[in-house]
Structure formats: structure tokens, C-alpha cells
Amino acid sequence: MNTKAADGSGKEKKPYLHLFLLSIAAVVWGASFVSQSVGMDHVGPFTYNGVRMLMGGTVLLPVIPLLRKFGITQKTDMADILAMRSVDSIEDLPWYDRKPQLYGGIIAGVVLFFASSFQQYAIQYTTTGKAGFITSLYVVLVPVLGVLLGHKIKKADWLGVSLALAGLYLLSIKGVFNISRGDFFLVLCAIFYAVHIIVLNHYSPMVDGVILSSTQFFVVGLISLVPMFTMETPTWASLIAAGPPLLYSGVLSSGVGFTLQTIGLQKVPPTQASLITSQESTLSVVFGW
């Protein structure tokens, strides 16, 4: 699935388009911290997540055939998947790779539910800049998980991770770093976002990225309905009041941001991708002013 040079030299082309898509995702997510904080003035965390994820999954449905028509996205057939995994038959694949479009969406959705729920709950108790910084700890966790899974991480990537983390701290945290009630949940959020990136990196080369995104959003939304109605008391009035931030988070942060991430991860290694998207932390401070 790697892009090769047109002259047949075998050298890989830089995936500039995919790097750009990841950068756009970082901008969208940076602004989303503000909308998430504002939305929490009107609804609970599970209500906010449930509605925005269902909204994100829904807005992608009409986009799927349009992108297929213009060849922007396409489904990888089983022969390509077998070649990618270096096996001869579908029986040789692990169960989670035999139906990658379905299983990928479900697994990514479950992981994203925990990541987004922890983040949304924690935002009630901290600043947007601090939330952005702690969430961006996934930039460290992604290569650590990669090593545990047998991935080779370049020394330059480790250096980039270290510099990014130091820079993000200086830009995001003002004064003394105090531990608040929500920080523990933000650390859990960072862990699950790191796992989410690894999951997307595994499945994105095998499936239509937009369908994968839409599926995971519906999974998150449906799971969120349970705590939404058992632990919170959403009303139409509160949902209408939270309408603008919900629209931003649902259409742009979820529908656009996560889809751009999924497509970007088709060509960009997870550690490098996390370095780019972690700039959402810096941008959350900018948008939070």
C-alpha cells in the first residue's frame, strides 16, 4: 500500500496530501476543545458525546457514494488484504481481520467511546489548554504501544516526540502545573486515544476510511445512549441551547476531523501522525483565548 516513485526507482513518495489532511484535523480538533467546554454548560458529557457522534456518523452517509464516485476513497478487496498480511487464505487471518470494515468500525468505536467520554467528562474540571496538553500525551504513548506491538520506531521520531511534548507543555500550561479532578480522566483519555490511533492505523489501509469513520461514530453514539438516559436527564431545551457547539463537534470535529485522521493514517505511520495531530493542544490554547 506504499506509494512508490513514478520513475520506478522504488523510493517512497512523501504522502504530502495525507500529511496535510492530518494537519487540518489538528486545526479542527483544536477549536473543538472550546465548543466542548461551552456545550457542557447545557448538557452532560454522555449526552454531548452521544448526540455529536450520531450527528457525525449521519452527515458522512451521503458523502460515502460521492467520494467513491470520484475515486477519492475505495474499498480494498480481500485479495489485497491477504497480500498485505502475507497469507494465502481468509482462514489464515485473525478473526478481527476477516471482516475489517465491520470489526474495524466496532473496535475503533468502542475505544473512541472511552477516549471521548473521559475527555468530555474531564473538560468540566479544567481549562481547555490543560485539557489539550494532557490529551496530547498520546504522542508519547503511540510509539510506546508501537514498540510493544513490534513496530520499529526511528530515533528521529523519538526526538520529535520529546521536543513536541516539551513545546506543548510550554505553550499550553501557564504557571504551576496543578493536578485537578479531571486530570486523571484526561490521562485515561490520552491512553485510549493512543490505542485508537493504533487501531485506525491497522484497519485504514484495508477499508474505506469514510465508512470506517461513520461506523465508529454510530457505535460511540449508540453506546453513549445508555449512560445518557440512565445517568443524565437531557431535555429538548438543553439540546437546543447546546446546538451550536454540538453542530461544530458533530459535523466538523467528528465528521470531518476523525475522517481526515483515518484517511491520513493510510499513508502516514502512527508516530508521525500523532506528532502532527498533537498540535491540537497548541491550537486549543489559541482558540481558547
Q: Is residue 3 part of a domain?
A: no
Q: Is residue 211 part of a domain?
A: yes
Nearest partner of 113 among 1, 198, 192, judged by Cα? 192
Q: Who has greater pLDDT, 230 or 1?
A: 230
Question: What percent of the chain stands above pLDDT 90?
Answer: 35
Q: Is residue 153 part of a domain?
A: yes
Q: Who has greater pLDDT, 94 or 128?
A: 94
Give the pLDDT band of residue 5 (cuts 50, 70, 90): very low
Q: How much is the pLDDT for 13? A: 64
Mean pLDDT of 57-61: 93
Position 102 pLDDT exceeds 80: yes
Q: How much is the pLDDT for 180? A: 72
CA dihedral 124, 125, 130, 136 (to 10 degrees): -60
Position 144 pLDDT exceeds 90: no
The three-point CA angle 128-193-18 to 5° equals 95
Nearest partner of 50 among 102, 128, 113, judged by Cα? 113
Q: How much is the pLDDT for 237? A: 95
Q: How much is the pLDDT for 30? A: 81
Burial class (CB in 10 A: 0-12, 13-18, 19+), 228: buried
**Domain count along the chain:** 1
Q: Is residue 79 part of a domain?
A: no
Give the three cell numbers for residue 74: 475505495
Number of H helices, E strands in the chain: 16, 0
Q: Is residue 80 part of a domain?
A: no
Q: Is residue 197 part of a domain?
A: yes
Range of the domain at 280: 16-71+93-288
Give the pLDDT band of residue 289 (cuts 50, 70, 90): low
Position 234 pLDDT exceeds 90: yes
Q: Is residue 88 part of a domain?
A: no
Lowest mean pLDDT among 5-9, 64-68, 162-166, 257-261: 5-9
Please state the pTM of the whole predicted model: 0.84
Give the pLDDT band of residue 43 (cuts 50, 70, 90): very high
Q: Report which listed range, 129-133, 177-181, 242-246, 269-273, is most confident.
A: 242-246
Task: Give φ, ψ of 4 to 5 degrees.
Answer: -105, 160
Q: Is residue 216 part of a domain?
A: yes
Position 279 pLDDT exceeds 90: no
Position 131 pLDDT exceeds 50: yes
Mean pLDDT of 69-87: 79
Give the pLDDT band of residue 167 (cuts 50, 70, 90): low
